[in-house]
Each structure stands twice: as structure tokens, then as C-alpha cells.
Amino acid sequence: MDKFMENPWFIRIIALFLALILYISVNEVFDKSKATSPNDMENEDTETILNVPVEVIYDTENLVVSGVPETVNVKVQGQRRFVEATKRQRDFTVFIDLSDEEIGQHRLPLMHRDISEKLKVQIEPEYVDVSLQEKVTEEFRVDAEFNRNIFAEGFEAEQPVVEPRTVKITGAKNIVEKISYVKATLDLSGLIDETINRDAVVTVLDQDLNKLDVAVEPSRVRVTIPVKNPRKTIPLEIVKTGEAKKNIEIKSVSTNTHEVVIYGTTSTLQNIDKIEVPVDISEITEDTELDIPLTIPEGVNKLTPETIKVNVTVEKTDEEQTITELPIEVKNIDTALDIEWLTPKDGNTSVVLIGRLADIEKIKKEDIKLTVDLSGKSEGEHEVEVAIESNDDHVEYKVSEKTAKVRLTKKEETEEVIEEVEE
């Protein structure tokens, strides 16, 4: 011991130790007196620092954390100068440490670092419920989603093309197992009549269409939706409407355009096999070429051509005119016989003239001669043919009664003369 006491280094160490004890004692007294000074009490302040990000410490390679809020509020209390510096600089960190936690559910406190020890700190919320799960990555096909009711009439979408066709989805195993739909949704508006080519955000949903918290790579895909206007070639069918005028015969109604092309949705076109073209013949009196607009069927948005030419060929039928009270002349009757007309009565009948009106109007009553030939006919009743004579070959003649019935009897005067001669 004497050797130690005489050693100058021992004395120096003891002196240093005593100096440190004295220094610590003096500072504690000073700090206590300073903390309790009325002036310091007046400088104390409280502030809440909003939206402080939360750092999560865990195995990012193999695990996924959920339930941790992105930001929290931090309430600090203490001397105003420390509070203001902390609020202004925001050079502290709020974190939660999961590095030693096992997979599963945990309730853990939020912690902080780099905040002055002279400040009281309260984090809101103080505890959080977190889920620590195994991280998995799987590949899923992306389906395009869009409103099919926004396409212009007659237009429809073909099979969408998504590029890339699949995406990699990373998340907690229990969350990835819930994935039912991976959609690239296009927000379209207006009436679409041309191919769509746009970027779309990939959305991951469960079977109840709830959005799932997972990472998607890539998060956006290119969606191409070919938009077409289907067409179909169909025949035309001419349909005559109305009644032809008197003495007008419609010989033909035809067109050189036998087919047209219609445009519309596939379902609409399937139900259309032809287009009827109504042609009104009621006012047609001569050969006519008509421009007839085609009626566009319901659901068809376009038709080519829209108008066709229709040729109507007519033929005028003959006029008819009847001449009545025409006498029938008797030829080659035996002079000893009298004639009695049974039919027609009084030996008068009518004739129908058939032909062009202009030709008919030239014929006069006296130009028509009706005769019956009684040559060789003896006493009694006879039916003989009524003949007609005319010089006009452009008109057809029809006698109302083609035959006549006559009764031939001996003349009374002739009988008296014979009796006188015999006497």
C-alpha cells in the first residue's frame, strides 16, 4: 500500500476520480436549480408534429408487414427552444422494430430516436396492431375491364390485348391467396368508334371486389381494344305497293343493284337477311327510272349504297268502248220466207271495240256491219253466227251475242198468190 501511495500515477488517478465526482455533483445541483427556476417554467411549451412517417424495421426480403400506419402524430413537451427546434427540423425518427418478431399478429409500441432527452414525447397512436407474414411473389394474368355500353351505335369491341399479358404480384402469403381478379381498368367516356390504345393501372381484387394491399410489377400495362364496325352483304327485294292505274300494266320493276352492305353489331346483323325496297306503282303511267332511298334497319348504323335506281317498265292496255243498237243484216234469205228475231230481239245487238283510244275514236257506227247468212235455211228456227265486217285492222271487235236465233216462216202473200194461180 505504501508503494501505491508513493506512486505518482496512483495519486493522479485518485485526483481525477474525485474531480469527476465533484463535477457531476455540481452539474446535478445546477440542473435542478435551473429546471425549477420560475423563468424556465414560463418558457415551457407543447406542440404536436403532424404526419410524421413511420419507419418499419423487419426482414424486407422474406416478410411483409401490414397494419402499420404510414404516418403518426408526435406530441412534444418541454422548453420552448427545444420544442420549436424539434418541430422545425423534424430530424427525428418514429419507428417500429419487428426484427425479432415471429410470423403472426403483434401489438407493439411505436418508438422514437434523435429527439432531445429534455423533451417529453407522446406518439399518437402509442401502440399498433401489425401482421407479419411470409412474402410471396406470384404471376397473374391481367384482364382488361371497360364499359361496353359507350361504343357508338353499330360498333363493338374485339378481344382486348394487354401488354404485358401477366404481372408479378408480391405480398403477404395470406393476401396473395385471396386474389381473384387482376384488372386493367380503362376509364372511357363519349361514344367510341375507333381502336383504343391506352395505359391502365393494374388493380388487384378479392372475390368480393375488395382492393388488396399488394405490390404489382409492372403497376401499369398497355391495353389495346380493337373497335370494329361489323358488316354484312345482303340481297334487296323489290316490293310493289299500290294499285296500277286503269289500262296500265306494270310489266317489270327491277334494279341493277341487287345487294347492299349493312354495318352494325354482330348480333344485329345475324337477324337481317334482306332489305325490302317498296316501290309505289300507283302514279306510274309510263316507263320510269326512280331514285329510291333505302330504309336503314333498326340497329344498323350504316348502309351502302343509301339510294338505288329502280326501273319500272309499263304497258298500256287497250281501251274498251261499246257501241249499242247495231242492226244485224240478213243475207241470202229465201224470198218466200219471213224472219222473226228470237235473239237478239229486234235484230239489234252491241259491239265492244278494243284498242287504242285514238283508233277507237275514228270508228263511226255506220262503219260497222253485222250480218247473218241464211242461205239454205228453210222454214223453222235456226241459230246462225253473227258476222262482223270492218275495214279497221287496229281495233278488235267483240259482238255481244256471237249467234242469233231466228224463226223463218212462209210469207202469207205468197200463199194467196199460189191459191189464185191454182184456181
For residues 390 and 362, state if they share a domain.
yes
Q: Residue 29: its pLDDT value, please?
A: 46
How many Å separate Cα 229 from the centre of its chain? 10
Stretch 79-86: mean pLDDT = 92
For residues 237 and 174, state if they share a domain.
no
User: Does the residue 20 lie in any domain?
Assistant: no
For residues 327 and 402, state if they share a domain.
yes
DSSP string, 195-231: -EEEEEEEEEE-TT-PBP--EEESSEEEEEE-EE--E
Note whether 303 and 262 are within 8 A (CB).
Answer: yes
Final residue of a structural domain among 135, 153, 170: 135
Give the residue, 375 or 158, on which the prediction is more confident: 375
Stretch 388-414: mean pLDDT = 84
User: Does the residue 10 lie in any domain?
Assistant: no
Cell reading at 80? 420552448
Nearest to 47 by CA among 74, 10, 11, 12: 74
Q: Residue 4: its pLDDT value, please?
A: 55
Handedness of CA 167, 162, 211, 174 (dihedral sign): negative
Query: Cα–Cα distance between 102 and 94 in angstroms, integer?
Result: 21
Mean pLDDT score of the chain = 87
For residues 253 and 187, state if they share a domain.
no
Q: Give yes or no for residue 391 having a pLDDT over 70.
A: yes
Give the residue, 53 or 152, on which the prediction is more confident: 53
For residues 289 and 378, state if they share a domain.
no
For residues 43 and 117, state if they share a domain.
yes
User: Does the residue 19 lie in any domain?
Assistant: no
Residue 189 is given by DSSP the state: -
Q: Residue 148: its pLDDT value, please?
A: 78
User: Does the residue 14 lie in any domain?
Assistant: no
CATH number for the domain spanning 88: value is 2.170.120.30
Residue 409 is given by DSSP the state: E
Stretch 221-241: mean pLDDT = 91
Q: Residue 210: its pLDDT value, please?
A: 94
Query: Cα–Cα distance between 263 and 109 in angstroms, integer?
Result: 67
What is the count of structural domains for the chain? Answer: 4
**What are all long-range contacts of 240-243, with beta carbons under 8 Å and residues at least 24 apart?**
240/279, 240/281, 241/278, 241/279, 241/280, 241/281, 241/282, 242/280, 242/281, 242/282, 242/283, 243/281, 243/282
Q: Residue 6: its pLDDT value, please?
A: 63
Give per-residue pLDDT as tens, 18-44: 888 887 776 654 454 444 455 555 578
For residues 309 and 371, state if they share a domain.
no
User: Does the residue 31 lie in any domain?
Assistant: no
Q: Give yes or no for residue 324 having a pLDDT over 80.
A: yes
User: Does the residue 22 lie in any domain?
Assistant: no
Q: Residue 276: its pLDDT value, please?
A: 93
Q: Give yes or no for residue 237 having a pLDDT over 90.
A: yes
Query: Cα–Cα distance between 133 and 110 in angstroms, integer?
Result: 19
For residues 288 and 244, state if they share a domain.
yes
Query: Cα–Cα distance between 387 and 229 in angstroms, integer?
Result: 74
Stretch 48-68: mean pLDDT = 92
Tell me the C-alpha to C-alpha distance, in Å, between residue 318 and each of 169, 247, 252.
90, 7, 18
For residues 324 and 411, state if they share a domain.
yes
Final residue of a structural domain among 135, 154, 176: 135
Q: Residue 33: its pLDDT value, please?
A: 47
CATH number for the domain spanning 275: value is 2.170.120.40
Give the residue, 274 or 191, on which the prediction is more confident: 274
User: Does the residue 17 lie in any domain?
Assistant: no
Q: Residue 419: its pLDDT value, please?
A: 52
CATH number for the domain spanning 163: value is 2.170.120
For residues 328 and 405, state if they share a domain.
yes
**β-bridge mates for residue 156, sequence order:** 228
Stretch 273-293: mean pLDDT = 92
How many Å separate Cα 267 from the centre of its chain? 10
Residue 192 is given by DSSP the state: B
For residues 158 and 224, state if they share a domain.
yes
Q: Residue 180: its pLDDT value, please?
A: 94
Stretch 297-315: mean pLDDT = 91
Phi, psi (rounded to 5 degrees) for 246:
-60, 140
Tell me the three-class secondary structure of 292-347, residue by residue: EECCCCCCEEEEECCEEEEEEEEEECCEEEEEEEEEEEEECCCCCEEEEEEECHHH
User: Does the residue 148 lie in any domain?
Assistant: yes
Give per-residue pLDDT as tens, 156-211: 888 899 999 999 999 999 899 999 999 998 887 777 778 888 899 999 999 999 99
Banded pLDDT at 146 (limits 50, 70, 90): confident
Final residue of a structural domain among 187, 205, 228: 228
Q: Domain containing 179: what range?
A: 142-228
Share of the chain above pLDDT 90, in %: 55
For residues 157 and 189, state if they share a domain.
yes
Stretch 289-305: mean pLDDT = 91
